[in-house]
Amino acid sequence: MLGLEGKITAVIGAASGIGQAIAVAFAKQGAVVACSDVDGDGLKATTAAIEAVGGQTDASIVDVRSSAEVDSWLGRVVAEHGRLDVAVCTPGINIRKPLIEYTDAEYDAVTDVNLRGSFNVLRGAGRIMAPQGSGSMIVISSISSRVVEPGQVIYAGTKAALAQMVRVFAAELGRAGVRVNAIAPGPVETALTEPIRASSAWAGAYAEKVALGRWARPSEIAGPAVFLASDAATYVTGELMFVDGGWVDLDAQFADQDAVATD
């Protein structure tokens, strides 16, 4: 049920991090993977990795902020393969600073990628999948959609909005046979989190918040994406799936660990 043999999938943000891991994981499960990103060199690395596992792929330079580019790319995928079974949107950026210090340009930069970009992919894929009567869409939210961290207000706002967008869109497209879900990762070892991991103290503090005591690898986010794309998840839609090593649900679990141990 977790196999993706023959499924036509499109992954935007495939040049690195979570997007790259998802694209390769889809290929390993037998999917045809159309990859896109603004990073051409990264796309070459991803396509090489897919071809190394015997996968079928192609790559396109696409800016997720441009609805015209997104629609054109998805249209080419359908023109070549006849349908679109899975669409995944992973790009995201973060500018860490207090709200009162944000500039208009910084606000636009974060919201244009995180929110408008995901909107472009959801709308474009939805216009294809609804008429064909099937499909699965997956976007990347974050634990920041629920937890609070100073300096994250705009990033967190986009991720929370994205979670609600997914829920409403799932309700709109459910009767058409289309599923829409989001994954909310915790701390993951990607380029986006390099500034945090550059400080051992900061990186350690994040790891301490996780029940598993460590950061996630991008491949550990790819597994849930494979599930949501597969026939194992045909009754799953409108969900925000937390893949966070227990951060959110176990947030206060260890606050009084010593007392619990002596009871």
Q: Give catalytic status of residue 102 as yes or no.
A: no
- Contact between 35 and 23 (Cβ < 8 Å): yes
What's the CA angle centered on 180, arms 174 and 184, to 5 degrees? 145
Give tens-digit pLDDT for 76-108: 999 999 999 999 999 999 999 999 999 999 999
- 217-259 pLDDT, tens digit each: 999 999 999 999 999 999 999 999 999 988 888 764 554 444 3
Residue 188: pLDDT over 70: yes
Give the pLDDT confidence of 51-74 residue by residue, as tens digits.
999 999 999 999 999 999 999 999
Give the residue extent of every domain in the chain: 8-262
Q: Considering only CA atoms, which of 13, 184, 181 is closest in space to residue 92?
A: 13
The answer as to CATH 3.40.640.10 being correct for domain 8-262 is: no
Tell me how many helices (H) and strands (E) the chain has.
10, 7
| Confidence (pTM) | 0.91
Per-residue tokens: 145: 């959609």
